Amino acid sequence: MTVHTAEQLAHEQRRYLQVFAWLAALTALEIGAIYMPISTFAIGLILVILAGTKATLVALFYMHLAVEKRTLAYIALTPALLCVFLVFMLLPDLGAITRALAHSQPPVAAETHD
């Protein structure tokens, strides 16, 4: 078991607080991005980029992937890359379903007989 000096512990604590400050600032940017007078697509893109940045900070510093071997980082990134790949693979189907539903006739209400 490794014994850390007081200086090393203070450095680690300072790093955790810096990452926390960055996460708080990015969260404030996310909240501010919602109220920006731009298209909803641009707002969504900004929010996804900010969320990805926050997830990266958490993984690197709070999950200690910054000091781990690269193999572990690849193992951690694989599900994220797979998720992005699957989302892009399913987007054409989502668009086709949306177009089909938008152009279909609404169901006719059945008349009741007395």
Could you report the per-residue pLDDT of 17-35, keeping only the tens digit for each?
Answer: 999 999 999 999 999 999 9
Provide the 10 A C-beta neighbour count for residue 59: 16
Domain range for 55 is 1-67
pLDDT-derived band at 105, boundaries 50, 70, 90: confident
The answer to whether the CB of 61 falls within 8 A of the CB of 19 is yes
51/27 same-domain check: yes
Assign 3-class secondary structure to 28-92: HHHHHHHCCCCCHHHHHHHHHHHHHHHHHHHHHHHCCHHHCCHHHHHHHHHHHHHHHHHHHHHHH
pLDDT-derived band at 88, boundaries 50, 70, 90: confident
35/83 same-domain check: no
Residue 27 lies in a domain: yes
- Tell me the two tokens of residue 56: 């990266």
pLDDT at 107 over 70: no
34/87 same-domain check: no
Residue 80 lies in a domain: yes
1/31 same-domain check: yes
CA separation for the pair 36, 40 (Å, rounded): 9
Tell me the average pLDDT across 105-110.
68
pLDDT tens across 39-81, in order?
A: 999 999 999 999 999 998 998 888 887 777 888 778 878 988 9
29/43 same-domain check: yes
5/54 same-domain check: yes
